[in-house]
Amino acid sequence: MKKLTIGLLAIAAVISIQSIKAQTVDEVIDKYQIALGGKEKLLSLKSVKMTGSVNVQGFDVGVIVTTVDGVGTRNDISVPGMGEGFQVVNPKKGWDFMPFRGQTSPEEVSDEQLKASQGLLDLPGILVNYKEKGSQVELLGKENVSGAECFKLKLTNKIGKVYTLYIDAKTYYRVKLIYKSYSSNGESDTEVSFGDYKKTADGYVFPFTQTIESGSIVFKTIEINQPVDEKIFTVN
């Protein structure tokens, strides 16, 4: 009887710990959403157009990122003296066209690249309503990122893609994201850092700086919920 009582207490303790852990994950996500303007605000995002530039090997490369929630995303890239290219993804297909890399016409991306890019179509963000989307989130403790103490979250979506997110424990802004990406060179880890968060006139909060391996993209303007011609997300 004593052993049975101890066993039941152990089970109860495990259930209690799991419950606390789950609440902690949701608490972090709730505060993250509040920091960005609130869950309702995030769910009201229908389109975003971000205009900026990145300095690559001495060139100021123009970047325009246009996304319509669930419909498509398009990166337009302009390299001085070398032409203009783009990357397009919609739920069914994706294309790359980079003439400065020797491409003469748009090329369809691989199935792996397409699947890896689908998270970009989720404007509210992968943490918003993650359970309804079929994802699971684990809290992996805390880590220091560039001097800031951060919550480390691991999100696994319904098709098994894994994202590691670092949320600042003070501001609750996302400061880093790591995920697997695919290219003609194969699979690799992609790391994106976020900074210079600002609130727009209509109450949304965005990072105006995103740093990737090739450099930091600094966005000058972010336009929200403006009309977008959805034809830009297909290539004929």
User: 81: pLDDT confidence band, cut at 50, 70 and 90?
Assistant: confident
Give 62's strand partners: 53, 78
Q: Which residue has the tokens 């971000």?
A: 50
**Which whole-number Å values give the CA distances from 77 to 4, 86, 99, 223, in the listed order?**
66, 6, 10, 18
Q: Which residue has the tokens 């359970």?
A: 131
**2-55, pLDDT tens digit by residue?**
444 444 444 444 433 444 444 489 999 999 999 999 999 999 999 999 999 998
Catalogue all structural domains in the chain, each as residue range(s) with its CATH number. Answer: 2-233 (2.50.20)
User: 182: pLDDT confidence band, cut at 50, 70 and 90?
Assistant: low
pTM: 0.83
Provide, rounded to the nearest whole percent, the portion of the chain with pLDDT above 70.
Answer: 88
Quote the pLDDT of residue 56.
Answer: 79
